[in-house]
Structure 1
Amino acid sequence: MFSFYGRIRRTEYCITFLAYWLCLFIISALAESPGTEWAGIFVLLPVFILISQGAKRCHDLGNSGWYLLIPFYIFVMLFGAGDYGANEYGDNPKGERNERNVDPFGYDVTTGTFAEQQTTPDHFLSKSDDSFTS
C-alpha cells in the first residue's frame, strides 16, 4: 500500500479512492470544531496512500507514475482496463496471461522478438544416459 512499485487492479484503486474521500470528509468535519485546526495534518497520510496507489494503477495501464500529473487522467485510472499480461512494471494483478506468449514459430508477440528455442529435446542432450555406449 505504501510502495510505488508494482501494479493494482481498478477495484483496489477505486476502493482506495473512495476511502480517501471518506477520510477527507471525516478529517474536514473534525477540523471545523473549535481548537482542532491541527487536524489538517492528518490529510497527509491519505494523500500519500492515494498517490502511491495511483502510481501503481498507472503501472497497470503500462504508464509511468508521472501520468498522475495529467489533468483528468483520473478517469482513465478509474475506468480504463489494465494491460493484458505482464508488462515492464510486473505481472498482471488479475493473473491473466502472465506467462510469455510465444507462438509455435518462436515469435514472442508481447515483446515483438524471436524467442530462443531449443530444437533438440533435453533427454538427447543428457550425458548421464549410457544406453548408447557399448
Structure 2
Amino acid sequence: MINRILNQFSRRGRITRSHYIISLIIFYALTYPLTLIEKHYELSEDGKGIVGLCMFPFLFFILLKGARRCHDRGNSGLYQFIPGYFFFMMLGDSDYGVNKYGPNPKGKGNDTFNTTTDDFQNALISNMKHNPQHCRRWGCQRCSCK
C-alpha cells in the first residue's frame, strides 16, 4: 500500500476530473481540523508553526495533483496559480488522445495523434528509430531501426 502511495507522487502524467475532485475532498477533510485548531485555541508562535508544518505535506499533495490535472488539460502545472483556473480544472474536459504529458487517463483517443501534439509525437517516433543507445539497450526488439 505504501508503494502505491509513493507511486502516485512519483508518476508523471495526467489525472481525470473525478480523481482531482476526490483529491480536493481529501485535502480539505485533512486540513480543516488543523485550521480549526489554529483558530479556536490560543496557540503560541511555536504551536502555530507546528500546525503550519503539519499542513505542508497536504499542500504539497494538492499542488502535485493540481499540476497533473493541468497536464490533463494540456497546460503547464504553473497554470494552477492563475486566479480562477481552479474552475477550469474542475469543470473542463481533458485533451482528447495523447498530449505531450502522456496518454489520456480515460483511454479515449490514445490510438490517434492529437493535432496539437503531432510534433511532439513525431519527435518521439523519430528519436526511437534513430537513437543508437535505444538500439543497444533493447537489441532492436522494440523499434524499427534495423
TM-score higher than 0.5 here? Answer: yes
Q: Which structure has the greater CA radius of gyration?
A: 1
2:9 is aligned with what amino acid? F
SS in 2 for 1:99: coil
Quote the Cα distance in structure 1 between the aligned partners of 2:37 and 2:111: 49
Structure 1 gaps, min length 5? 102-107, 116-134
**Equivalent residue pairs, number:** 107
What does 1:90-109 align with in structure 2 at a 5 Å threshold? 90-101=102-113
Deviations 1:11-62 (A, max 9, x none): 0000111111111211112334455432221110111011000000000000
Deviations 1:64-106 (A, max 9, x none): 11101211000000000000111110000001111125xxxxx
Work out which of the residue numbers 6, 22, 27 in structure 1 matches 2:29. Answer: 22
1:98 is aligned with what amino acid? N
| Contact preservation (8 Å) 1:4, 1:56 | no
Structure 2 gaps, min length 5? 1-7, 123-146
Quote the Cα distance in structure 1 between the aligned partners of 2:100 and 2:20: 19
| Contact preservation (8 Å) 1:28, 1:40 | no
Runs (4 or more) in structure 1 with deviation over 6 Å come to: none
Quote the Cα distance in structure 2 between the aligned partners of 1:68 and 1:3: 19
- In the other structure, the counterpart of 1:7 is 14
Q: TM-score, normalised by structure 1?
A: 0.70
Q: Is 1:73 matched with 2:80? A: no
1:14 is aligned with what amino acid? I
- In the other structure, the counterpart of 1:41 is 53
> More helix per residue: 1 or 2?
2
Cα deviation, residue 2, structure 1: 2.1
Quote the Cα distance in structure 2 between the aligned partners of 1:42 and 1:12: 23
